[in-house]
Amino acid sequence: MSVSRSAKRLCCLMATVLALSGCSGQQELSESAASLTEETSADSEGTISSVTSEETEGETEAESETEETEGSEEIEETEPGMMLDPHGYDDLLEDEAYIVMADDSTIDIDDFVSSEEYIFVRNDRVSTNGVTTSMIDTSREYPGYAEGDCRINVTQDICLPSRIDDIDIIWESSDESLIGTNGSVTRPHEHSMFVILTGTYVMDGKVIRVRYPVRVARDMYEDVTTDMVVDLEFYDQYWVFEEMGLDVMDFDYPGWFYEYQEMGQLVFFEADPDNLTVRDRSDEAVCDMTLFGTLSEMGIETADEAYLFLYTFRNLIGWTDLYDMHLSGMDTGTAGQFYYDFVPYYNGIPTNGSVRVTISRFDDVKTVSSRILTIPSGFDTEPSVTYEDAVSLYGIAEPELMIVKYEGSVSLVWTGYADGNLLWIDAHTGETILNTSAAVVTID
């Protein structure tokens, strides 16, 4: 079954029904071909053995169906993929991929199964000469993750199509107990696990092979909710140990530093953290905090767990009941840190604040970098300037409402691009408070 590029988005968003969306078309065609095979045998005199009238009738129908479909474009396009073997192309590729583990040791790609530790794939992409742009683009578009998932936080089935336009794709999984070659995902319980997916893309004798490290999120704490998490309310139990300027901390501003000592049960999955240091750079318009400390066996291995951990500190970082935290992105750093980024929403409207939880793979220090706007009491979130006005009067393409801090005050704005410039239009007064060129300068 051929999957067009236009079907990719649907395939990725409906990853839980991969078998119905065409990502398992290779298997369907194999079964169809098997059902059309004629079962005949030659007797000792070289004549065809007799068959019952029922068998003959079924065979005639199969032959008729074969004749009808032999000339169809779909079968002709897909038949080559039915016989593809990823290792049949090994001689064409200088495949030197290998795994680097968290302790910097290496593992041959063929010996790796799965790991709870951070991994990195060296030489993850190899190809023959003459591969096309469409092959390269396709190899960058897949695997397809369900909404809310990404390569380091997989909770739902993955879209692994067997054919895109004229490109056949053969998928391999280093651990099929966690991710099947049809994209089915089985979440581990004890630890989130890294698996290597290998996609071999073939078209007209040209080949690209890509290794994709994918982290399947554990389900150990799937049922934990925010009302089960202990929150920090010990405002009177911290002490100021030093007020420092930039010359010491390499910051452009002074700040207050606090250190928590005996805190008892404090953070998600950890009853007795050693220390927590807080840097407070807040002003009237924003609660700007950085929290860092040594927390043994923190246990944050999924985006949901990062959210619950962050919820622990909501009283420190200015996360009031008027705010919701929306996960905006996840990534890894060059040294294997895990980053979980959140955007604070106020009464359902995004702000230009930000919160990042950083989990290091080298030590037990975890960091929360938080910048949450301090919204004035009675702040009006209903715009006087309409969406239509933002489009027609200011030329903003697809304007969005946002609450921003600008020049020391908090404003409700329409934001978007007009003629290449980023605009902020005050949604109450219609005043243009920001107009920034977004032009890219190319240096010869």
- Please give the pLDDT value at position 25: 40
pLDDT digits (tens, 9 = 90+) for 306-345: 898 888 778 778 888 889 999 999 998 877 789 999 999 9
Say what the pLDDT of residue 431 is.
93
Give the number of other CB atoms < 10 A from CB of residue 320: 13
Within 7-52, residue ranges assigned H as helices are 8-13, 18-21, 25-35
Which residue reads 């006087």 in tokens? 384
In the chain, where are the structural domains located? 5-36+52-216, 226-373, 387-437
Sequence-separated (6 or more) residues with CB below 8 Å from residue 14: 21, 146
Mean pLDDT to the nearest integer, 404-410: 87
Query: Would the pLDDT of 20 be above 90?
Result: no
- Please state, in angstroms and rounded to a whole number, the distance separating the CA atoms of residues 396 and 267: 44
pLDDT bin (cut points 50, 70, 90) of residue 364 is low
Q: Say how many C-beta atoms besides its own lie within 10 A of residue 339's C-beta.
A: 17
| CA distance from start to end of the chain | 47
The answer, yes or no, to whether residue 23 has pLDDT greater than 80, is: no
Sign of CA dihedral 60, 61, 65, 68: positive
Residue 258: its pLDDT value, please?
54
Of the ranges 78-87, 139-148, 334-343, which one carries the lowest mean pLDDT score?
78-87
**Dihedrals phi, psi of 240, to nearest 5 degrees:** -80, 120
- Read off the pLDDT of residues 193-247 as tens digits, 9 standing for 90 and up: 999 999 999 999 899 999 999 999 999 888 888 877 665 554 444 444 444 333 3
Q: Is the pLDDT of residue 72 over 70?
A: no
- pTM, to two decimals: 0.72
Which amino acid type is present at position 238? Answer: Y
User: Residues 392, 379: contact at Cβ < 8 Å?
Assistant: no
Task: List beta partners, residue 342.
Answer: 327, 355
* Phi, psi torsion values for 358, nearest 5 degrees: -115, 125
CA–CA separation, 189 and 427 (whole Å)? 47
Residue pair 118/339 in contact (Cβ under 8 Å)? The answer is no
- Report DSSP letters for 387-432, one per residue: HHHHHHTT--EEEEEEEEEETTEEEEEEEEEETTEEEEEETTT--E
Q: How far apart are CA 422 and CA 418, in angstroms?
A: 7
For residue 92, name the pLDDT band (cuts at 50, 70, 90). Answer: confident
Q: Mean of the pLDDT values across residues 373-383?
A: 91
